[in-house]
């Protein structure tokens, strides 16, 4: 249970998908913040020659397929999203902001999946990835205080310095919202945890793993019971600067169920642990590489092999699979950043492994 005295973030959502706007309305960033389950960022400096910046809000609504521009075609989910189009002098780009919560954001750059990427640090503890998006556009991606901020060039040419400069000039639209969003457990923010639409099968890291379908037994643990639940499962509540804020069981409630734990840091950085009892199914060793350019090595951990993948040694994002004698097969993912490169990640994994104990209470809180 969080000990933070900062109040949780609360936002406005529609009560029916039928009330979604046919076309997302123009709305300034500071006004849109009240309708978003994530921190909304506003550009304070535009690339040279660009003099127009128009933002629109796609509001959150319960699951349901309706005729509404901007909603996703691959799910009946209707999460919030803020879109900004910046243009001028024959050039045009788009920023898209949202909470990526239907899976772990694939190597922290899901819109660039499959392309070679280059990290550039900016601001405090942040990194932006430059590459090519799934539409073949020149693109970029960063996570900022948990918000996924994706950029796609729609017309004309922009230099690397211009794209990185745009990210560096982003500021919170409502500064007071930032600590409140970061103090809110992931499960309380997540559209998929709250509304439980069917999971979307997407890549999640260097190694292949996708969660398909949904069972009635899928359970997000109540935040008031989280610490006791993790202790009973032999899992630590803290790992370095990261603290568990949410956990979920996927599948049945036996010890073999997949358990996901979200560990978050005060700045919004994230670790995601998946624990699965030995022989239970999808976590198998050695893991299979997914289709993304990345580095892969086998790290020795007290005589046990850790299959370790990462996009960049200095910035991550990292993906590790290994076996713990008391916990079975484990997977640990991380977000990216100057403080989450390969060596820092290995130190966190080593500390986590040392803190693990055999479960003594594998039940699910009722």
The per-residue b/e assignment along 161-183, b for 16 or more CB within 10 angstroms, e otherwise, is: ebbbbbbbbbebbbeebbbbbbb
Question: Do 131 and 223 fall within a single domain?
Answer: no
- 113 occurs within a structural domain: yes
Question: Do 23 and 130 fall within a single domain?
Answer: yes
Question: Do 177 and 217 fall within a single domain?
Answer: no
Question: Do 251 and 102 fall within a single domain?
Answer: no
- 188 occurs within a structural domain: no
Question: Do 112 and 28 fall within a single domain?
Answer: yes
Question: Do 30 and 130 fall within a single domain?
Answer: yes
Q: What is the pLDDT of residues 316-337, one digit of tens each?
A: 999 999 999 999 999 999 999 9
- 12 occurs within a structural domain: no
Average pLDDT over residues 188-201: 89
Average pLDDT over residues 192-204: 87
Confidence of residue 366 (pLDDT cuts 50, 70, 90): very low
Residue 6: C-alpha distances to residues 35, 150, 185, 211, 261 (Å) = 20, 28, 12, 33, 22
- 77 occurs within a structural domain: yes
> Which CATH number characterizes residue 66's domain?
3.30.200.100
Question: Do 34 and 158 fall within a single domain?
Answer: yes
Q: What is the pTM of this model?
A: 0.93
Question: Do 170 and 283 fall within a single domain?
Answer: no
Compute how many other C-beta atoms are within 10 angstroms of the C-beta atom of residue 34.
14
Question: Do 157 and 266 fall within a single domain?
Answer: no
| Per-residue pLDDT, 364 | 45
| Per-residue pLDDT, 253 | 53
- 5 occurs within a structural domain: no
Whether the pLDDT of residue 202 is over 60: the answer is yes
- 186 occurs within a structural domain: no
| Per-residue pLDDT, 250 | 83
Mean residue pLDDT of the chain comes to 91
| Per-residue pLDDT, 212 | 67
| Per-residue pLDDT, 1 | 44
**Domain encompassing residue 61:** 17-181
Question: Do 132 and 165 fall within a single domain?
Answer: yes
Whether the pLDDT of residue 198 is over 80: the answer is no
- 362 occurs within a structural domain: no
Question: Do 171 and 273 fall within a single domain?
Answer: no
258 by DSSP, 3-state: which?
A: strand
- 198 occurs within a structural domain: no
Q: What is the pLDDT of residues 1-35, one digit of tens each?
A: 444 689 999 999 999 999 999 999 999 999 999 99
Whether the pLDDT of residue 211 is over 60: the answer is yes
| Count: domains in the chain | 2
Q: Of 78-82, 211-215, 219-223, 300-304, which range is least confident?
A: 211-215
The token duo for 255 is 């010890």
Q: Of 54-58, 211-215, 218-222, which range is least confident?
A: 211-215
| Per-residue pLDDT, 2 | 44
């Amino acid at each position: 249970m969080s000990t933070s005295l900062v109040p949780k973030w609360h936002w406005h959502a529609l009560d029916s998908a039928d009330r979604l706007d046919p076309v997302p309305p123009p709305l300034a960033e500071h006004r849109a913040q009240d309708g978003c389950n994530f921190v909304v960022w506003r550009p304070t400096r535009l690339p040279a020659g660009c003099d127009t910046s128009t933002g629109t809000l796609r509001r959150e609504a319960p699951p349901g397929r309706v005729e509404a521009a901007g909603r996703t075609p691959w799910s009946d989910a209707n999460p919030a999203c803020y879109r900004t189009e910046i243009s001028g002098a024959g050039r045009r780009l788009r920023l898209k902001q949202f909470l990526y919560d239907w899976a772990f954001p694939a190597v922290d750059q899901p819109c660039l999946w499959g392309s070679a990427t280059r990290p550039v640090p900016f601001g405090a503890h942040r990194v932006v990835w430059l590459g090519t998006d799934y539409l073949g556009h020149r693109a970029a991606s960063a996570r900022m205080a948990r918000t996924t901020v994706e950029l796609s060039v729609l017309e004309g040419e922009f230099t690397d310095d211009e794209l990185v400069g745009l990210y560096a000039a982003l500021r919170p639209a409502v500064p007071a919202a930032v600590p409140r969003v970061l103090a809110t457990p992931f499960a309380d923010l997540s559209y998929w945890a709250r509304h439980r639409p069917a999971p979307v099968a997407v890549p999640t890291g260097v190694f292949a793993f996708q969660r398909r379908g949904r069972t009635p037994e899928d359970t997000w643990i109540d935040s008031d019971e989280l610490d006791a639940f993790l202790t009973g499962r032999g899992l630590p509540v803290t790992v370095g600067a990261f603290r568990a804020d949410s956990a979920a069981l996927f599948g049945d409630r036996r010890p073999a169920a997949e358990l996901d734990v979200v560990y978050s840091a005060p700045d919004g950085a994230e670790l995601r642990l998946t624990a699965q009892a030995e022989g239970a199914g999808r976590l198998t060793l050695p893991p299979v590489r997914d289709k993304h350019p990345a580095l892969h090595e086998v790290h020795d951990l007290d005589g046990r092999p850790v299959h370790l993948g990462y996009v960049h040694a200095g910035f991550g994002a990292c993906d590790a699979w290994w076996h713990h004698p008391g916990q079975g097969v484990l997977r640990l993912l991380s977000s990216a950043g100057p403080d989450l490169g390969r060596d820092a990640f290995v130190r966190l994994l080593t500390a986590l492994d040392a803190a693990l104990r055999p479960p003594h209470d594998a039940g699910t809180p009722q």
